Amino acid sequence: MISKLSVRTALLVHLLPKPTVQYTSPLAEQYSLMSLWAGQALFGTLTPDIIVLTLLYSIAGLGIAIVNDFKSVEGDRELGLQSLPVAFGSETAKWICVGAIDITQLSIVGYLLGAGKPYYALALLALIGPQVFFQFKYFLKDPVKYDVKYQASAQPFLVLGLLVTALATSH
């Protein structure tokens, strides 16, 4: 079933018109999800929880990928690539980036609460706080100047949040 879905998605991505805004390829995103789901199906149990949570975290992953787009805005403009910062402007793209990361994680907090896992939801919420702090301290001030500092400061909390979510689904 997973391979059929992969082939169908690949065909759709190839046949559909290219988006105006360049972002991580949906095909690449789909391959990432398929490998996660295939591994889970092979070595564990692929549950609806796991499918929903990996889909949500893939949105946060897109937000993280956008961080790298700010370094190449001039080159993207010269090459005619419509990265988010080029298409929407740096100011709007900054907020799309942090929104993708934060709203995704807050949605997962809600999901964990709905699944009857309040302690995991609270732990994840506690890990979102430092990320938001570093977003304001570094990324939202100057995403080009502080991109490495921001990623080094905030992303460990995102990864720990992934771990908390993984633990929540296994208990």
Q: Does residue 37 contact residue 54 with C-beta atoms inside 8 Å? A: yes
Q: How many CB atoms lie within 10 A of CB 126?
A: 13
What pLDDT, on the 0 to 100 scale, is given for residue 18?
47
Kindly report the pTM of this predicted structure.
Answer: 0.75
What pLDDT, on the 0 to 100 scale, is given for residue 114?
96
Ordered alpha helix ranges (H), the chain: 2-15, 26-43, 48-69, 73-79, 84-88, 90-114, 118-134, 147-170
What pLDDT, on the 0 to 100 scale, is given for residue 49?
84
What pLDDT, on the 0 to 100 scale, is given for residue 118?
98
By the 10 Å C-beta count (0-12 exposed, 13-18 middle, 19+ buried), 93 is classed as buried
Backbone angles phi, psi at 14, to 5 degrees: -70, -35
List the pLDDT tens digit at each of the 171 positions of the chain: 555 555 455 444 445 444 444 445 454 555 566 666 666 666 777 788 888 888 888 888 888 888 888 988 889 889 988 888 999 999 999 999 999 999 999 999 999 999 999 999 999 999 999 999 999 999 999 999 998 999 999 999 999 999 999 899 886
What pLDDT, on the 0 to 100 scale, is given for residue 32?
64
What pLDDT, on the 0 to 100 scale, is given for residue 171?
63
